[in-house]
Amino acid sequence: MNSVAQEKAQYQAAAEQPAPPYTVDGNTAEKLPAALHSDVPIVDTGDFGLRSILAGNASNPLTTFEKKAALINAEMDKFGFGRYQTCIWLLCGFGYFLDLAWAQGVGLIASAVYQEMNVPDDKTGLIWTCANAGLAVGALTFGILVDIIGRKWAFNLTCLITSVFGLLLAAPKYNYGAICGIYFLSSLGLGGNIPIDATIALEFLPQRRRYLVALLSMWQPIGVVVASAIAYGTAAKYRCDPTLPACNTVPDGEGCCSVSSNMGWRYEVIILGLMTLLVFFLRFFVFKFHESPKFLLAKGREAEAIEVLHKIAKFNRAPPPVLTVAHFAEIDQTSSEYSGDRVEEGAGTTVKRVLRAFVSGITNLKGLFLNKLQAFIFALLAVAYMGDYWSFNLAGSFLPIILLRNNVSNGQTSVTETYRQYVYIYLPGILGAVLALASIQLPLVGRKWSLVFSAACQGLAMAMYTQVKTTPGYVGLNALEYIMQTYFNAVLYASAPELFDTAFRGSASGMLSCLGRLAGIVAPFAGQHYLAAGSSGILWLGAGGIWLSAFVMIFLPVEMRNRQMF
């Protein structure tokens, strides 16, 4: 215990050291420490005209917080992509993996659940409605909480909630309502994964390595393929004859689909639940996660932010940081304003402190919409997210059905062939993440035009789906659609958190994800009429949604490729 106290005292003493000599930084026209300069430009102008919007050069003058955050950026840049950053990237990648592994896994067990529990056709969509509602509420709740209670607790809670309720999915017998309710609770944790993981990865990576957040999306198609493989070995293998009725609908002694003869889908959710629990174990017990320095800075806990920097440097076996509280004090003295939530908070986790922080966080959230540039970005991204999830859900819900109904080349409709086609369709999605990684670094493309291009191509693939009539054509275009979908999502999930300051980053990402999930709830209801009529209108509906996303991204006013994130 004495060694811990001694180490804390050393960090405190380092944080309070006098600031080293200052030089003038040409980017900000402010005095900053010579050792604390980053090679990534800092934009400090007030330009919000149409020309700057189309060019992606819109900006606001730097706030006091942003000037201080620039110093933390410089320290993170000195650490480079070290051991700590590698662990963060992998653990956040597992969060992406779980997001679609659960969606695909539950999708593949649905027919077995419907049969065993005698679910009528008009109730089959209830589980998806509950799932999307849980994802929406989870994204909103954890997105806001991550800016209030911190990144650390939200990072761990999402996986814990998903694993506990995911395992409980295997418990109900002949109770479809219980299945839907438990999946809703499991989705609460799952919904917070993507906005939280992207936020955390961005805040710990060096400025020149932020493009690696886009590569996190490669874990999503891997999750889909792994879930399909698990389903192939469980749900597809250990299930009752698809022609048998549910046992709760026939007299005793007659042949029926019983729990014991239909255990495969339960094995699958147990495996997925244990995988999620393992991720929680790695995050909470194996890896020592430190609170984000920028979050601590946003809460006025400057000494603690510097202490975390020292701990990261020690873990990375890098030289200790030179940043001190004196540097922050110097900025305070030379700045005329001090914006954002900067109320000094204690390091404890008492209920009273959490409640006070919650009220303060909700109150200060209005700052996101009082800033014209940030509000404009939020509005554009809201449309982009809704168009994306609209198209995503239509593609995920109906393209496999269209493929099955039009599997006319060889007439194979066996389980084996179906799962083989899933691999053909989803595994190439990894290419989408690689394309995103490459294109966002190109000078004339960057984040903005990568979003426009990938969304346009995704819509084109769905539109072309109306023109083919063979199985290879359906599988090929479905794979192309999924590659472009992964490409767009990789850039969107990585870019959206970059565009907001630390004080609002999690909340903005959570609200955007929530709006997208709500669009995803509505989309299948809008498309089912066209499916019943055998019309291609469902494909044009999906293409139109993502094309709308492509259009609004043309007006994205900020390109973050060569600009610091605060």
Domain final residue pick, 262, 286, 310 = 286
Least confident stretch, 6-10, 395-399, 503-507: 6-10
Residues 393 and 535 both lie in one domain = yes
The DSSP H or E segment spanning 25 is strand 22-25
pLDDT digits (tens, 9 = 90+) for 45-60: 777 777 888 888 888 8
Residues 106 and 251 both lie in one domain = yes
Residues 273 and 149 both lie in one domain = yes
Residues 433 and 561 both lie in one domain = yes
Residues 270 and 383 both lie in one domain = no
SS3 28: coil
CA distance 72 to 334: 18
Domain final residue pick, 254, 270, 286 = 286
510 in any annotated domain: yes
Domain final residue pick, 286, 308, 330 = 286
Residues 558 and 426 both lie in one domain = yes
Least confident stretch, 81-85, 145-149, 187-191: 145-149
133 in any annotated domain: yes
pLDDT of 35 reads 47
Residues 108 and 225 both lie in one domain = yes
327 in any annotated domain: no
| pTM for this entry | 0.86
Residues 262 and 377 both lie in one domain = no
Residues 376 and 246 both lie in one domain = no
Q: What are phi and psi of 47, to 5 degrees?
A: -120, 115
Decide: residue 35, CB within 10 A, 0-12 exposed, 13-18 middle, 19+ buried. Answer: middle
- Classify each residue of 79-112 as buried b or exposed e, where b means 16 or more C-beta atoms within 10 Å of its C-beta: bebbebbebbbebbbbbbbbbbbbbbbbbbbbeb
Residue 308 has pLDDT above 50, yes or no: yes
Residues 397 and 274 both lie in one domain = no
97 in any annotated domain: yes
CA distance 480 to 242: 32
CA distance 78 to 8: 22
122 in any annotated domain: yes
Q: What CATH number is given to the structural domain containing 380?
A: 1.20.1250.20
Residue 127 has pLDDT above 60, yes or no: yes
Contact criterion met (CB below 8 Å) for 558 and 498:
no
Residue 538 has pLDDT above 90, yes or no: no
Q: Please report which confidence band the pLDDT of residue 22 belongs to, taking 50, 70 and 90 as the band edges.
A: very low
Residue 235 exposure: Cα atoms within 13 Å on the Cβ side: 29
Tell me which residue range forms the domain holding 245. Answer: 81-286
Mean pLDDT, rounded, for 8-22: 55
363 in any annotated domain: no
Mean pLDDT, rounded, for 534-544: 77
Higher local confidence (pLDDT), 219 or 122: 219
Q: Is the dihedral of CA 436, 441, 442, 446 positive or negative?
A: positive
pLDDT of 58 reads 86
DSSP conformation letters of 168-213: HTT--SS-HHHHHHHHHHHHHHHHTHHHHHHHHHHHHS-GGGTTHH
pLDDT of 111 reads 83
Mean pLDDT for the chain?
83
36 in any annotated domain: no
Residues 249 and 391 both lie in one domain = no
Residue 1 has pLDDT above 60, yes or no: no
462 in any annotated domain: yes
The rounded percent of the chain whose pLDDT value lies above 70 is 82
Mean pLDDT, rounded, for 531-550: 79
C-alpha dist (Å) from residue 349 to 61, 187, 296: 35, 26, 14
Domain tally, the chain: 2
> Dmax of the chain from CA atoms?
88
Q: Please report which confidence band the pLDDT of residue 414 belongs to, taking 50, 70 and 90 as the band edges.
A: low
